[in-house]
Amino acid sequence: MRDARQLIRITALLTALSLGLAACGGDDGEGDSGGDEPKSSASKKADPATWPLTGLPVNGGGSAEQDHPVLVLKLDNTEASAPQLGLSHADLVVEELVEGGITRLAAMYYSDIPGDVGPVRSMRASDIGIVAPVDGAMVTSGGAAQTVERIVDAGIRIFNEGSPGFYRESSRSAPYNLFTDMGKVAKAAEDGKDATPADYLPWGTEGDLPAGKPANTLTADFGSHATNWTFENGSYVNQNSYAADGDEFPADSVLVLRVDVGDAGYTDPAGNPVPETIFEGSGNAFLFHAGKVVEGTWSKDELSSALSLETKDGKLKVPAGRVWIELVPIDAKGGSLTYGK
């Protein structure tokens, strides 16, 4: 018992001494500041979650994880498709060449799932390099047998006519009358996975950008179709969009990548050779943001790799926001890029 009381007295004495030393240390004004002491990991505030297809923060700082994969809708991009539905809800859009020098859109949905979208059209082998980096699923009217086989071999899920949500719009003519309720597709695509897709682009801020050159207008020409953009009121406006009024894609940036194009190995019903965008390797890149253009290069080691961007001075980051990507064929394949002040 006496040993226990002695231990208590010793503990009290040591506590008093430590408090006294702490008080003395505070006299020079440094005792409560922590000086240069590193903070414990428990005191560090976690970085807010951001959406993988926009780089924008999740509202409320919650998780960017959804119950479904990235859904990539193949959208017709001709006058016959007007009005297109659902573009304003897309996180990111990729415009790609198809046969005859016209284009088709790969509209990506993840953070915001709309209702009716379309007209839904067929996929191409070019879509593998677009969809695979985020383990996305295709929402499409189908595709040629060769294309379907390659898409499946790449491990990409396909949702097409006959899947939940798909229907034919009686007021339109085929093949421009296939639509789907994206909410029903998202429900059918739930996979129970916990992983959030990888970032589609190397996200940053406007302050990360090099100075660039003035460029308030640009034209991405694919041969028989050209998409014209004008920088207005802080964003890029597609001057020849087929989207329904008020349903246009709100592009904060336009990223033009010059790509090589090969032959997919078959023809469409009209006898046109089907092109295949080679979305791996490297090429020239042009990032349009805030009325300026920054020139650099893009690279992808393989079709499933994330996109890397660089300038002569180092890595190029894309300001977080909604981005429209133009996969424009190199000059030898009939494509071109022009821009002006």
* pLDDT tens digits, one per residue of 200-227: 999 999 999 999 999 999 999 999 999 9
Question: Within 10 A of 233 (CB to CB), how many other CB atoms are there?
Answer: 5
Q: Which residue(s) pair with 289 in the sheet?
A: 253, 292
Distant-in-sequence, close-in-space partners of 239: CB < 8 Å, separation ≥ 6: 228, 229, 230
Record the pTM: 0.85
Confidence band, pLDDT 50/70/90 cuts, at residue 191: confident
Antiparallel, parallel or unpaired: β 116-117 and 308-311: unpaired
Whether 327 shows a pLDDT value over 50: the answer reads yes
Cα–Cα dist 205/322, whole Å: 13
**Peptide bond before residue 175 is cis, with ω within 30 degrees of 0:** yes
Q: Note the Cα 266 to chain centre separation in Å.
A: 30
Per-residue pLDDT tens over the stretch 20-56: 333 333 333 333 333 443 333 333 345 569 999 999 9
Res. 282: pLDDT tops 50: yes
- One DSSP character per residue, 113-162 reads --SEEB-B----TTHHHHHGGGT-EEE-S---HHHHHHHHHTT--EE-BT
Q: Are strands 166-168 and 178-181 parallel, antiparallel or unpaired?
A: antiparallel
DSSP-derived pairing of the beta strands 336-340 and 308-311: unpaired
Average pLDDT of the chain, as a whole number = 87
Percentage of the chain lying above the pLDDT 90 cut:
77
Residue 38's identity, in one-letter code, is P
As a whole number of angstroms, the distance between CA 203 and CA 307 comes to 11
Residue carrying the six token digits 């790449």? 154
Q: pLDDT band at 271, cuts 50/70/90? A: confident
Joined together, the tokens standing for residue 118 give 């379309």
Give the model's confidence band at 195: pLDDT under 50 very low, under 70 low, under 90 confident, else very high.
confident
* Structure tokens, 121: 């059209």
For residue 280, the model assigns a pLDDT of: 96
Q: Is the peptide bond before 48 cis (omega within 30 degrees of 0)?
A: no
Under 8 Å CB-to-CB from 4, ≥6 apart: which residues? none
The angle subtended at Cα 45 by Cα 69 and Cα 51, nearest 5°, is 20
Q: What is the pLDDT of residue 47?
A: 58
Is the pLDDT assigned to residue 324 strictly greater than 80?
Answer: yes
What's the pLDDT score for residue 213?
96
Per-residue pLDDT of 99-153, as tens digits, reads: 989 999 999 999 999 999 999 999 999 999 999 999 999 999 999 999 999 999 9
- At residue 2, does pLDDT exceed 50? no
Alpha-carbon distance of 34 to 37, in angstroms, equals 6
Structure tokens at 194: 């916990």
Backbone angles phi, psi at 232, to 5 degrees: -140, 130
pLDDT for position 48: 62
**CATH entry 3.40.50.150 includes domain 59-340:** no
Residue 6, pLDDT score: 41
Residue with tokens 């695979």, as numbered in its chain: 132
Q: Provide the pLDDT for residue 3.
A: 41
> Tell me, what's the pLDDT at 63?
83
> What's residue 29's pLDDT?
36
Residue of 29 and 162 predicted with greater confidence:
162
Domain ranges of the chain: 59-340
